[in-house]
Amino acid sequence: MKEYLVSKSYTFNKDFISIIDELPLWAAPFGLKLLEKLKIGRNLKVLDIGSGTGFPLLEIAQRLGETSVIYGIDPWLDVLNRAQLKIANYRIKNAAVISGYAEELPFSKSYFDVIVSNNGINNVEDLNKTISECRRVSKKGAQFLFTMNLDKSMMEFYNVLKDELEKESDSISLDRLEKHIYEKRRPLSEIKMILNENHFEVKEVIEDKFYLRFADATTMFNHSFIKYWFLDNWKKIAPVRNTELIFDRVKSRLNSLAEEQGELKLSIPFAVINCTKL
């Protein structure tokens, strides 16, 4: 019997169940838009930068099918192992993950037809080097499609934190705050400039926004997503001697805001950037 017609009931073991979530909730709004714009075809060589636990890598592998091949690159070994477990359990034959950095892509010149990245490009150390590497490994006419959250992300929180630091006249922490935002969320105009310098024509930029909604700031600070992915870096902005005081003030102001508004909303503006290699 053809492989796709064989019953898959045997796959519902412990490993399989442990990998059922295919797309992290945070990544979904960006990722769904990216998939809408992805070039679909046959015989494509595709690269996913910062492929994490396997999104959009594995979705793209399955949508394009076995005439195409997709590589995911990420320096984080534990997430690569999880992606590998998914590849094995889903028996995906046209995807592979590689441990490495976007700044030094282990591929030859003009290799890829498509390069994608869902919230990966904005997390690299050196954006200029990464985009220049994307230029080197992409073919003429290749699609370079990536998403990133924008500099006004979570501004409801950052504005209050900034205000509290200003009240303390703490210029060092204020500088750290600006640097923190700039490093992860470079202005769109700057990204476009780097793309142009690297022979990528920006065909389309789709801007969108979603909200993370919480009952109040106490709830927000205790949410696992905030606690494990954001709070440590936020804490490093405020001065060590005053961290608790500043954060207590921020929390209390955001709680008052939530009281007035009936909820605390953090906005996440993001962009899908669709380019062609000239």
Ligand X SMILES: C[S@@+](CC[C@H](N)C(=O)[O-])C[C@H]1O[C@@H](n2cnc3c(N)ncnc32)[C@H](O)[C@@H]1O
Return the number of the residue (127 or 250) whose C-beta is nearest ligand X: 127
Return the number of the residue (183 or 259) whose C-beta is nearest ligand X: 183
d(CA 215, CA 29): 21
Q: Rg of the chain's alpha carbons, rounded to an integer?
A: 21
Q: Which stretch binds ligand X (CB under 6 A): 14-22, 100-108, 138-146, 248-256?
A: 100-108
Q: Does 75 bind ligand X (CB under 6 A)?
A: yes
- Please give the residues from 27 up to 66 whose contact with ligand X meets the rule CB under 6 A: 27, 31, 49-52, 55
Return the number of the residue (60 or 124) whose C-beta is nearest ligand X: 124
Q: Which stretch binds ligand X (CB under 6 A): 2-10, 121-129, 161-169, 174-182?
A: 121-129
Are the CB atoms for 148 and 122 separated by under 8 Å? yes
Angle (deg, nearest 10), helices 171-184 and 155-167: 160
- Please give the residues from 241 up to 270 whose contact with ligand X meets the rule CB under 6 A: none
Q: Which stretch binds ligand X (CB under 6 A): 24-32, 86-94, 164-172, 254-262?
A: 24-32
Give the shortest CB-94-to-ligand X separation in angstroms: 18
Around Cβ 158, how many Cβ atoms within 10 Å?
A: 20
Provide the residue type at 63 as one letter. Answer: R
Q: Does 132 bind ligand X (CB under 6 A)?
A: no
d(CA 191, CA 24): 25
**H or E stretch covering 99:** strand 95-99
Q: Does 115 bind ligand X (CB under 6 A)?
A: no
Q: Which residues contact 12 (CB under 8 A, 6 or more apart)?
A: none
SS3 223: coil
Q: Which residues bind ligand X (CB under 6 A)?
A: 24, 27, 31, 49-52, 55, 73-76, 79, 101-103, 118-120, 123-125
